[in-house]
Each structure stands twice: as structure tokens, then as C-alpha cells.
Chain A
Amino acid sequence: MRRNRVTEYATAAVLVAPFVAIFGWMFIYPTIQMVFLSFTNAPLIGNGVWVGFENYIRMFQDRIFWNAVWNTSYFVLLTVVPGTAIALAIALMVTRLKGRTQSLILAAFFLPYVLPITVVYLIWDWLTNFQFGLIQYVIEPIMGKRINIWRTIPWFMPSAAILTIWWTNGFSILLFLAGLRNIPRDLYEAAALDNASRWQMFRSITWPLLWPVTVLCLTIQLILQLKIFDQVYLFAQGGRTQATMVLVQYIYEQAFQKNSGGYAATISVALFVIVVIFSVLQYQVLRVRGEK
């Protein structure tokens, strides 16, 4: 049966049109507006006056902006690779369990992921409470005194990273589990006959065959963690918000608290560029490694 090319293209166009329309309306158009806004002094609501590169010049001289860039990068460094490694380790353990035990343990690891951040915040706020928190009973013997984790700058980001890994790891674990199940069992049997030790099996079979999943996990995590906001915002409330400022939080502060829509858009553009650069770079680096 021969098909008419024009008809085929028309069908394709009709099928993708809803997506293209929504994508254009909800994503492309606002993005263009955001870039436009970054060249104005607009407040949160309404139009502003064109100010050229003033916002960008201000941004490059803004101590808090650079602090936010550093904090965000530091947070990414603390969460993306360690979080993925922990997820892999947990997945390797869970995959060796069977039946109901496996479901139960998996549910335990996945449960935090379904919690909203507000609940996560309350749980950890009480766990780390300076006066009554359970974790203080661990910190006190080690450090010799209690530590107010969310008010002590060197403790803030690592703690936020730990709770973020606790919160979001369930998803990576699921991805890794699916990846592990995709590795045929007979490869391990062949390896067992090939004198491979447990470590050699992991290194020579599991690890290379999981690599695509690992790349996926790392990329998802990277983009997610670059957009860190809720945890830092909630835990820094009333405290040293400037010292622990992250990029999205700074956008929020400028737009909603300080009513500076234009400057907030400028920082958003910066974040957009950073996310694009980071993810393209990471993807390239990981892909090259994988193809070696």
C-alpha cells in the first residue's frame, strides 16, 4: 500500500500540534518574556522601563548572587554524585532480597519520596531541634556540644544535602532496580563460570551495563538539585538567609519579597544558562566515558 506523503505529514502535524501548542504557550513564550523582562526594571506585577544591561551589571557585582551561585554549586556537589552512589548501593542490596521482604524494604526507602517537602521539613526540624532533637543526642557526644545545624553555616549545606538525599533517593533507587532487572541473569552465571569474583562481576558486568541508568540518574539529579529551593528556604527562615542563599531562593526573594520582577528575571536567565551548561557538559562527559 502506498501512502501519500502530504497526508502523512498532515497527520503527524495534527498529532504533535497539541504538544507544540502547549509547549509554546506554557514554556517558550514565558521564557522569551523572562528574557525580555530581565532588561527592564519591572516590579512583580505590571510593566517596567527598559534599562538595558543594568540588571546584568548589577548581578555581576552582587555579592549575594555570587554567594547563591556558590551555595547552589556546593549543594549540587554534595548531592548529585553521593546521592546517586548511595542509591546504587541501596538498589544492589534491595535487588538481592526476595518477595515480600524486598517490597517492604523498597517501600521503606521509597516512602520519603512521596512526602511533601513541608512534611519532610517538619520531621527534620524536630529531629535536629537544638533543645529536643534526637539527632542532638548523636551530635553532642561527638562534637562535645549541641549544634544548631540550621544556624551554623558550615553545617547547613551538608545537612540540607543529607536530608535531600534521604528525601529524593527513592526515585533513583527505583531506576537502578529497573536497570538491574534488565541485566540477564545468565550473564552472572556465565561470569560465575568465568571465575569472576563478586567484585569483578560488579565491575565488569553490573557497572558497565548500568551505566546508561547511572547517566540518567545523574542528569535528573543534577537538574533537580540545581533548582534547590524548598529545603533551604524552609530551614533558613528567620536565620542567616543570605549566607545560605541559593539561586531559586534569591529569585523568589527578589520577585516576591522585594518586588523586583526585572532583577529576578535576570537571575532566572542566569540560572537557566547555568542549568543548560551544566547538563550539556555532564551529559557529554558521561557519554564519552560510557563509550570508551
Chain B
Amino acid sequence: MKSILKAALISTALLSFGGLAMAKETVVWWDFLGGGDGVRMKKLIEDFNAEHADTVEIQATTLDWGVPFYTKVQTSAAVGEGPDVMTYHASRIPLAVSQGTLKEITADDWTAMGLGADSFASTTWGAVSVDDKQYAVPFDTHPIVLYYNKDKLDAAGLIGADGLPAGLDGIDNFKAAMKKLQEGGTKYGMATTTADGGFSFRTIYSYLCQQDGDIGTDGNWLPGDNAEKLTKAVQVIADWVKDGYAPGYTDYPSAVALFTSGESAFMINGVWEVPTMVDLEKQGKLFNWGAIELPVMFNHACTYADSHSFAIPNNVGKDATPEKHAAVLEVIKWMEAHSLFWATAGHIPANKAVNESAEYKAMQPQATYAKLLSNMVFDPKSKNAGVASPLFDAAGNAFAAAMNNEVDAASAVQEMKSTLEALQ
């Protein structure tokens, strides 16, 4: 009996002192990355842990994307139970800051990581800033792009001398191209998520930006002639559906299936579908394909983008020790330095040092669409904006019907405007 007690005491002592002696920091990590993103992030975390076997260990948990993730972060941070570091959409930062969920990334932090405003595209840097303070470290930029079936475009004579699609700019030119493709035996010109107005908001918002339009912000939604511009943007997709270029009421998986099965020559979707194409191509189940920046329908190029970034939650009543904080910064720094691998998931690395490297420039089709970095637009800076936000919801409610010509675009825009104005 005595010896058992002794053994227990010794082992307890060993455990507690042992922890101190090794001084290994554990970084609790939450992300919302599934699919191809999740697989790649898991690999990065494993590599990190292997490299830091004696110093830092990431304990990662993947949670459900969208409102559930952000609600959990908000509620757990409020009681000091949040993680040490987490992934965050740049577009959600204004709301998070208004709720006090995020810790500022201070100048010292930036110095410690060897990063700063110069390391990122200015739009991306702006997206993580609120009132000139930064609340996250951008990891990537993930815009929407135009995927195309190169075989079909080739047959229709739509591939230019540089090997890229040509003659797609302008509403009429684009329709003409789709018409040519359909006459060549393709069922649809375009597959895009017409069943989900929230998802399609990304495309519509891009077309609004191409007209120098602005969605406005709290208390001043759609000022001036922006309602008309938004109407025109919605009308582009509504016309595709009306004229039979794009199938109506198509949900996300169906849009992908229509494109990968060759039934549709184009698809507008996020860059995160690049791994799907790469995998299918590897298995020999896909045609020649590519992805480019969205063609210009109006005045100039502009594409919606968001950014996966790293944020540190403001764990109320539980400040991180300096050691822990240093470990967190080390994690972020390492991830930023290794984001070339992340680019295989389709995303454009936010770190200029990476996206301007020769390795990235050799990566296709990533390098082709990376030029849109200078033409991108993020969500408006509002606590009601961002992915899975009331703004997305309002768009979903208004535009699902409009894209499928159940209501006209102008009244859908009015409905969205009144919904936004009713937000508190």
C-alpha cells in the first residue's frame, strides 16, 4: 500500500515538473477547413509539429464552417475558453472586432514574425485592418475564377495565341462565345450556383465592382445609382439563365458536376475547386482545363475575393503567457513561410515573398489567375457583411429568385436594400 502511494506521488511530481523542464508549448488551433483545404492544412500542421518536436506542438481541431464556427469562437472567447490561434475569414473581421472577439496583431507581433504591410497586397492588408489596426495575418487570397474546358473552347476557336481563352470580355461577347460552344454540342455555356443567391453574390458583387459600384455600408446601403448598377450585375446572370446558357436552380455540387462531366464549358466558382480538377485530371477523368480571372463584363476587371487569415482570439480573463504568445507567432510565421504548399489548394498565398517566387509562377493555373490580385474587391467593411453574414443572407433571399427570372432584377435589388436597411 505504501509503495503504491509513493509511486503515485512520484509520478505526479514527475508529470508536473516534467512539463516545466521540457518547456514545450502547446498551441490549441481551430480551423474550419474541410475537403482539399483540410487535407493540405493537416499536412502543414504535421510538418510543423515534426519540425518543432521539442518546442511547440499544434493541437488542431476542425469545426463546421460558417455561422456555427463563428458563434463558437465568439462564445468561447467570451468565457476564456477559445483556442490560442484560429483561421478566420478576413470578411468576418469587422463583426468580430465589434464583438471584441479578436486580439490586435501589434507592431511588435509583426516584427516578431518578420512580416508587415509590405508583405501583402494592399487590398488584403486593408481587409484585415479596422481603424488602422490589424486583427489577423492574411494567409491567402481566395477569389472566384472562371474555369473553362479547354478542349471545347479550342474546338470553338476561343483559345488565343497565348494558349488562354480569348474574346470573352463584354456581356455580348461572352454570350456569343457561349452560343458558339452550345452550337458545337455542349449542353450549357455556363454552370454556376444559380440556386444559391448567397453564393452567387460573389459573382454579382464582382460585376458591381466592374462598374465602380459600391454596396455601401450600415446606414447607407446602395447609395446613389448603385442600385441600378447592382441591377445590371444581377441581370447578367438572369439573362444567362433566361437565354438557356446557364441552367436555373443549380446548387453547388450540381454546378461542379455539370462542369466536370463536360456538360458545361464554363464554371464560375472559387479557387478552392482547383484541387478537384487536379485530382480528376490525375485520375485521367478530366479534359484539358484551365482557370482565369473573371472576364470583364463592364468597365474594368474586378473580382470578389476573401482571405483566410490567422487570428488570435481575445480570451477574456485568460491572457496567454509570453511563451505561449511567442509560440503562436512562431506557428503563424512558419505557416506564412510555407504557404506555397497551400497554393496547391488553389488559393493565392497572401505572402508576397511566396506568390512572387519562381516556384509559384510555375504553378498552373494558379499563376495565370494570380494577376487578379491587383483587381480584387473584398466585402464591404461592415459588421453585417462577410461570408455567411446577414448581407449574404439578404443577397440569397433576393437574388435566388431574380437569377431564375421569377422576379425582375430591379425589384430583387429593392428587396435586398430594404432588408439591409432593416438590419440593426
Chain A residues within CB distance 8 Å of chain B: 43-46, 125, 129-132, 146, 148, 150-151, 237-243, 253, 256-260, 263
Chain A residues contacting B99 (CB-CB under 8 Å) are 43-45, 259
A219 to chain B, nearest CB (A): 31
| Contact of B419 with A by CB under 8 A | yes
A239 lies within 8 A of B74 (CB):
no
Q: Which residue of A lies closest to B384 (CB)?
A: A258
Residue contact B251 to A130, C-beta cutoff 8 Å: yes
Binds A, one of B33-41, B228-236, B367-375, B397-405: B397-405
Q: Are A238 and B390 in contact (CB under 8 A)?
A: no
Collect the chain B residues with CB atoms within 8 Å of residue A44's CB.
Answer: 71, 74-75, 99
Q: A257 touching B389 by the CB < 8 A rule?
A: yes
Chain A, Cβ-Cβ closest to B200:
A238
Whether A258 and B396, one on each chain, are in contact in the complex, defined by CB atoms closer than 8 angstroms, is no
Question: Could you tell me the distance between the alpha carbons of A151 and B248 in the complex, rounded to whole angstroms?
Answer: 11
Q: How many residues of B contact A (CB 8 A)?
A: 35
Q: Is B349 an interface residue (CB 8 A)?
A: no
Closest to B71 in A: A256
Other A-B pairs, 7, CB within 8 Å; known A148-B195, A238-B197, A241-B393: A44-B71, A125-B251, A130-B251, A132-B254, A239-B400, A256-B67, A257-B390
Q: Is B290 an interface residue (CB 8 A)?
A: no
Q: Which residues of chain A have C-beta atoms less than 8 A from B396's C-beta?
A: 237-241
Interface centre among B78, B257, B397, B419, by most chain A C-beta atoms within 10 angstroms, is: B397
Kindly state the separation between the CA atoms of A151 and B74 in the bound complex, as whole angstroms.
Answer: 31
Chain A residues whose C-beta falls within 8 Å of the C-beta of B251 in the assembled complex: 125, 129-130
Q: Are B424 and A239 in contact (CB under 8 A)?
A: no
Q: Specify the main secondary structure of chain B where it touches its partner.
A: helix
Contact at B195–A238, with CB atoms within 8 Å?
yes
Residue of A nearest to B419 (CB): A242
A130, A131, A146, A238 — most chain B CB neighbours (10 Å): A238
Smallest beta-carbon distance A66→chain B, Å: 14
Q: From B95, B251, B254, B384, name the one whose CB has the most chain A CB atoms within 10 angstroms.
A: B251
**Chain B residues positioned under 8 Å from A259 (CB to CB):** 95, 99, 383
Q: Kindly list chain B residues whose C-beta atoms are within 8 Å of the C-beta of A260.
A: 424
Q: Show 13 A/B contacts (Cβ-Cβ < 8 Å), sorted by A.
A: A43-B99, A46-B78, A130-B250, A131-B247, A151-B195, A238-B197, A238-B199, A238-B396, A238-B400, A239-B397, A242-B397, A258-B390, A259-B383
Per-residue contact bits, chain B 232-273, to A (CB 8 Å; 1 contact, 0 not): 000000000000000111110010011000000000000000
Q: Are A131 and B196 in contact, with the CB atoms below 8 A?
A: no
Q: Are A240 and B254 in contact (CB under 8 A)?
A: no
From A46, A132, A150, A258, residue with most partner B Cβ within 10 Å = A258
Number of A-B contacts (CB under 8 A): 83
Say whether A130 contacts B257, CB under 8 Å. Answer: no
Q: Are B249 and A130 in contact (CB-based, < 8 A)? A: yes
* Cβ B198 vs Cβ A238 within 8 A: yes
Known: A132-B254, A238-B396, A257-B389. A45 touches B78 (CB 8 A): yes
- Mostly, the A contact residues are loop
Beyond A238-B400, A239-B396, A257-B393, is A131–B254 a contact (Cβ under 8 Å)?
yes
Closest CB in chain B relative to A273 CB, distance in Å: 23
Q: Smallest Cβ distance from A246 to chain B, in angstroms?
A: 15
Cβ of B1 under 8 Å from chain A: no
For the complex of A and B, the 6 pairs showing the least CB-CB separation, nearest first, are A238-B196, A148-B249, A45-B78, A238-B198, A131-B254, A130-B249
Min CB gap A12→B, angstroms? 38
Residues of B within 8 A of A257 (CB): 67, 388-390, 393
A146 vs B35: C-alpha distance when bound (angstroms): 30
Taking CB as reference atom, which chain B residue is nearest A131?
B254
B423 at the interface (CB under 8 A from A): yes
Give the distance in Å from the alpha carbon of A243 to the alpha carbon of B398 in the complex.
10
Question: Are B248 and A148 closer than 8 Å at their CB atoms?
Answer: yes
Write out the residue numbers on chain B whose beta carbons fall within 8 Å of the beta carbon of A146. Answer: 249
Q: Which residues of chain A are near B393, meaning CB under 8 Å?
A: 241, 253, 257
Q: In the complex, what residue of chain B is closest to A255 when comparing beta carbons? A: B71
Query: How far is it, in angstroms, between the C-alpha of A47 and the C-alpha of B383 when the chains are bound?
Result: 19
CA distance in complex: A1, B169 (Å): 98
Q: Which chain A residues border B71 with CB–CB below 8 Å?
A: 44, 256
Taken together as a complex, chains A and B put the C-alpha atoms of A44 and B70 apart, in Å, by: 12
**Nearest CB in chain B to that of A133: its residue:** B254
Determine the distance from Cα of A112 to Cα of B384 in the docked complex, in whole angstroms: 38
A132→B195 contact, CB < 8 A = no
B423 close to A258 (CB less than 8 A): yes
A239 contact set on B, CB distance < 8 A: 195-197, 396-397, 400
**Complex alpha-carbon distance, A148 and B390, angstroms:** 24
Q: Is the CB of B67 within 8 A of A45?
A: no
